[in-house]
Amino acid sequence: MENILENCCRAADKVRERCPLVHCITNYVTVNDVANCILAVGASPIMADDIAEAADITSISKALVINMGTLNARTVESMIAAGKKANEIGVPVVFDPVGAGASSFRNETAKRILENVKIAILRGNLSEMSYLAGLEVSTKGVDTSEADEKNDPVSVAKKTAAKYGCVAAITGAVDTVTDGERVTRIYNGHPYLSKVTGTGCMTTGLVGSFAGSDIDMYTAATAGIACMGIAGEIAYEKCGHIGSGSFHIAVIDAVSSMNGKLFAEKARLEEK
Amino acid sequence: MENILENCCRAADKVRERCPLVHCITNYVTVNDVANCILAVGASPIMADDIAEAADITSISKALVINMGTLNARTVESMIAAGKKANEIGVPVVFDPVGAGASSFRNETAKRILENVKIAILRGNLSEMSYLAGLEVSTKGVDTSEADEKNDPVSVAKKTAAKYGCVAAITGAVDTVTDGERVTRIYNGHPYLSKVTGTGCMTTGLVGSFAGSDIDMYTAATAGIACMGIAGEIAYEKCGHIGSGSFHIAVIDAVSSMNGKLFAEKARLEEK
Amino acid sequence: MENILENCCRAADKVRERCPLVHCITNYVTVNDVANCILAVGASPIMADDIAEAADITSISKALVINMGTLNARTVESMIAAGKKANEIGVPVVFDPVGAGASSFRNETAKRILENVKIAILRGNLSEMSYLAGLEVSTKGVDTSEADEKNDPVSVAKKTAAKYGCVAAITGAVDTVTDGERVTRIYNGHPYLSKVTGTGCMTTGLVGSFAGSDIDMYTAATAGIACMGIAGEIAYEKCGHIGSGSFHIAVIDAVSSMNGKLFAEKARLEEK
């Protein structure tokens, strides 16, 4: 078993060498930031959500990111068609179940996606992942509810990974990534990241960029999440005192300077 | 009758204590900025526009913001369903009739919304509000037309407030807020705000954040609009000489530093 | 025949005098940047894509921009309805065939638009324009594929201009604009522009702003493209070392300071 930190550092360089095309079916709130984060880390985004081309675009891509942030009946079908195509041709699928637990439409859609598409990496907050693990939740919109903070992220992540046969990642004050057996906890990040919309979606876009670069899924999830955490720390140091607009831009700046060397200096990972 | 300035200062602190969930059905042009403004002022945004969940999301929210910036047949139904649910459970509805007067589709949609949903706060520019007040207008797109500038905003706002039984707010060089009887004029703001798309939509998002914080609607409208005006002044002083991209970011920065103390220093309100 | 540089300088001032309303039916990934670029250069954007109002909005506009970045069945019909109305009343149509060649849905849609709407200016990258010229292509998503770089942009642009009877513009390391006879090559720009999503879409928005200002189409295309190139150079000098987030903002800043004088200093055009 190799060291997760070394693997992540190599991954941070590899994504820039490979520049994988990452197909995203994502929400319209944060889509611009997701695309710019994918470019910033060294990959190439393509957003296409019509059923008439979703599977075709997946066919030319190296990873598929599905994000249900602003779900609608039209794009759900595209998510499933693209996901099935990805499974058929061996393209990894990263799924961000935004707001799972918050409405029955989201719950049913998450269920349909998970039943019809084999997910490689599932990334959500503790409320969303608790819901998908089958626990009782009290979701307040798209953020983790206080009530759900009683759940232990390591055990929820393990349960989710086992249930769906995937790498499960729970982001929060400390992030958790597991393939069901190995567990890494990531101590990078900054609370100010929650003052900018879409840092979760951007993280999922980064995870997709790593997943499309011929990197194992456990490393891809860890590297993508740590990358956003490191960017948040650098951005806060530089612009936290100015305000959330400048911090937002500084996050993208920091992602655009990410590489193996910076990763090695800044990452704080603990594998159990 | 309390002083409107004192009420607004208290409101600026209250929104950060309450952190209300604000459900927005808004346009895809400025949605990211709207979400980031809502976060910056201390509230929490959720964007959801599918008919399958619109009412459910309203049910867990403290305010509903409806903005018809990029109207389409699909989301009109969601706006009405969400609005009816909001009325049923006592969640205040803030309506931004973007481009009312500019196309018959927008005119009919505004009419349908106003007939089916009881609005708490209506915020628009002078062209849009003149149209809704029943005056003749000559709208040029989404900005106030020169021809409509002949109308007196105080009388248009009063007419609109009376017609729809709501707080009416007209933004412009000087902003006007009225509940039909009390009238506040807001002298904050900067013309450069019109060089960034969506400052009107962001203002409506701020108004929704205040409206969801257990604040009376007249204060909520005044506080939200003044907040954007103050942010525009601070941002222009800091970044106006650099360009409209930096100014845009500085507006969000300024909103993220808003509180009762800053409000008290900067607000220029006159109640008649 | 007047000097293209002089014409472009005059155009840069004229767009601010005219402040034309530019109707855009564009993708949701980069729409905010497109609107802000149009404002920054001195025009006024309006985004409206529902079939119930597309033609009405075109009727009050001075230019129509059609961009197929995130194509869907609903908006294709609006593009065609708006395009036909534009042709009827003499409003110039600028078409950005994003991803033409990348999926059959995009190919068929581009074909339908070009068959039903008379285009004034067609702007794309070398892969997209090679596809539309009828050449074999190997498109990798929304960027020019390496294989397609063997094609000569001048000959592809001339072929496209002749085929569709329009001004054809191909952006790349060096940009090419032709009306079929006159050819201008633009040496402005910076490779870092490709690290921000939507600089192509923003360029098309700028071209639309010039096209709506009573400027001939050959000058409008040249001025719009050179404007983005110049902005990229200024932005890179100022913020390239910081990262792609700051560079993105600096591009908008630079567009907002564009005028005939700055254009004259910075433009590097060569007419053949």
Per-residue pLDDT tens digits for A27-66: 999 999 999 999 999 999 999 999 999 999 999 999 999 9
Q: Name chain C's partners: 3 or more CB pairs within 8 A.
A: A, B
pLDDT > 70 in chain A, percent:
98
Q: What is the DSSP letter of B60?
A: T
Chain-centre distance for alpha carbon C177: 11
Q: Are C122 and C164 in contact (CB under 8 A)?
A: yes
Q: Are B24 and B216 in contact (CB under 8 A)?
A: no
A139 pLDDT band, cuts 50/70/90, is low
The reported pLDDT for the residue numbered C123 is 98
Residues in a beta bridge with A67: A96
Q: Are A139 and A99 in contact (CB under 8 A)?
A: yes
Using DSSP's 3-state secondary structure scheme, residue A22 falls into strand
Per-residue pLDDT tens digits for C12-23: 999 999 999 999
| Residue bearing the bigger pLDDT, A2 or A62 | A62
CATH topology of domain A4-263: UDP-N-acetylmuramoyl-L-alanine:D-glutamate ligase (3.40.1190)
pLDDT averaged over every residue in chain C: 95
pLDDT > 70 in chain B, percent:
97
C141 pLDDT band, cuts 50/70/90, is low
C-alpha A72/C-alpha C200 separation (Å) is 28
Element holding A24 (H helix, E strand): strand A21-25
Record: contact B40-A105, CB cut-off 8 A: no
Name every chain A residue with its beta carbon within 8 A of the beta carbon of C77: none
The reported pLDDT for the residue numbered B216 is 98
pLDDT > 90 in chain B, percent:
91
Cα angle value A21/A27/A28 (rounded, 5°):
100
The reported pLDDT for the residue numbered A151 is 87
Task: List the one residue out of B168, B197, B190 whose CA is nearest residue B268.
Answer: B190
Cα-based distances in Å from A197 to A194, B31, B59, B167: 7, 10, 21, 29
Q: Is the pLDDT of residue C150 over 90?
A: no
The reported pLDDT for the residue numbered B144 is 72
Task: List the one residue out of B184, B182, B179, B153 whose CA is nearest residue B165.
Answer: B179
Q: Are A125 and A171 in contact (CB under 8 A)?
A: yes
- Of residues B28, B140, B196, nearest to C31 (C-beta): B28
Record: contact A48-C103, CB cut-off 8 A: yes
Q: Is the pLDDT of residue B140 over 80?
A: no
Q: Are A61 and A67 in contact (CB under 8 A)?
A: no
Report the pLDDT averaged over residues A240-264.
98
Record: contact C71-A60, CB cut-off 8 A: no
Backbone Cα Rg of chain B: 17
B143 pLDDT band, cuts 50/70/90, is confident
Report the pLDDT averaged over residues C143-152.
76
Q: Is the pLDDT of residue C145 over 90?
A: no
Q: Is the pLDDT of residue B142 over 90?
A: no
Q: Is the pLDDT of residue B33 over 60?
A: yes
Record: contact A197-B249, CB cut-off 8 A: no
Cα angle value A95/A98/A99 (rounded, 5°):
145
Q: Which residue of B has its CA nearest to A34?
A: B32
Per-residue pLDDT tens digits for C87-109: 999 999 999 999 998 899 999 99
Element holding B107 (H helix, E strand): helix B104-116
Q: Is the pLDDT of residue B1 over 60?
A: no
Both tokens of B156, joined, read 């248009």
C-alpha C207/C-alpha A171 separation (Å) is 43
Cβ–Cβ contacts within 10 Å for residue B119, how many? 24
C-alpha B255/C-alpha A195 separation (Å) is 12
C139 pLDDT band, cuts 50/70/90, is low
Q: Which residue of B has its CA nearest to C246?
A: B246
Q: Is the pLDDT of residue A92 over 90?
A: yes
Mutation target vs B (from C64, C253, C255; most B CBs, 10 A cutoff)? C253
Report CA torsion sign: B190, B192, B194, B197: negative
pLDDT > 90 in chain C, percent:
91
Task: List the one residue out of A77, A89, A60, A90 whose CA is nearest residue A116.
Answer: A77
B50 pLDDT band, cuts 50/70/90, is very high
Both tokens of B243, joined, read 């360009």
C-alpha C245/C-alpha C242 separation (Å) is 8
The reported pLDDT for the residue numbered C245 is 98
- Of residues C103, C140, C196, nearest to A36 (C-beta): C196
Chain-centre distance for alpha carbon C241: 27
- Residue B174: Cβ-neighbour burial (10 angstroms; 0-12, 13-18, 19+): middle
C-alpha A83/C-alpha A91 separation (Å) is 9
B103 pLDDT band, cuts 50/70/90, is very high
Complex ipTM: 0.95
Q: Which residue of C has its CA nearest to A51?
A: C72
Report the pLDDT averaged over residues B113-124.
98
Secondary structure E strands in chain C: 21-25, 44-47, 63-67, 93-96, 121-124, 167-170, 175-178, 183-186, 269-271
Element holding A25 (H helix, E strand): strand A21-25
Both tokens of A152, joined, read 């232990």
CATH superfamily membership of B8-267: Ribokinase (3.40.1190.20)
| Residue bearing the bigger pLDDT, B144 or A251 | A251
pLDDT averaged over every residue in chain A: 95
C-alpha A141/C-alpha A103 separation (Å) is 9
pLDDT > 90 in chain A, percent:
91
Name every chain A residue with its beta carbon within 8 A of the beta carbon of B249: 245-246, 248-249
Per-residue pLDDT tens digits for C4-57: 999 999 999 999 999 999 999 999 999 999 999 999 999 999 999 999 999 999
Residue C103 carries which side chain, given as an amino acid letter? S
Report the residue count for chain C.
272
Task: Indicate the pairing of strand C44-47 with strand C21-25.
Answer: parallel
C-alpha B209/C-alpha C250 separation (Å) is 30
- Of residues C30, C104, C245, nearest to A249 (C-beta): C245
User: SS in 3 state form for A175-235?
Assistant: EEEECCCCEEEECCCCHHHHHCCCHHHHHHHHHHHHHCCCCCHHHHHHHHHHHHHHHHHHH
Smallest CA–CA distance, residue C73 to chain A, in Å, is 7
The reported pLDDT for the residue numbered B150 is 81
- Of residues A70, A140, A248, nearest to B48 (C-beta): A70
The reported pLDDT for the residue numbered C80 is 98
Predicted TM-score (pTM) of this structure: 0.96
Both tokens of B238, joined, read 């800091």
Mutation target vs C (from B78, B104, B105; most C CBs, 10 A cutoff)? B105
In sequence order, the 6+-apart residues with CB closer than 8 A to the CB of B111 are none
Q: Name chain A's partners: 3 or more CB pairs within 8 A.
A: B, C
Q: Is the pLDDT of residue A159 over 60?
A: yes
Both tokens of C249, joined, read 């903002």
Residue A123 carries which side chain, given as an amino acid letter? R
The reported pLDDT for the residue numbered A142 is 67
Task: List the one residue out of C73, C85, C154 whose CA is nearest residue C117.
Answer: C85
Report the pLDDT averaged over residues B44-57.
96
Report the pLDDT averaged over residues C150-157.
93
Secondary structure E strands in chain B: 21-25, 44-47, 63-67, 93-96, 121-124, 167-170, 175-178, 183-186, 269-271
User: SS in 3 state form for C44-78?
Assistant: EEEECCCCCCHHHHHHCCCEEEEECCCCCHHHHHH
CB burial string C134-165: b at 16+ within 10 A, e below: ebebebbbbbbbeebeebebeebbbbbbeebe
- Residue C172: Cβ-neighbour burial (10 angstroms; 0-12, 13-18, 19+): middle
C-alpha C225/C-alpha C173 separation (Å) is 12
The reported pLDDT for the residue numbered C144 is 72
Residue C45 carries which side chain, given as an amino acid letter? P
Residues in a beta bridge with C162: none
Smallest CA–CA distance, residue A258 to chain C, in Å, is 10
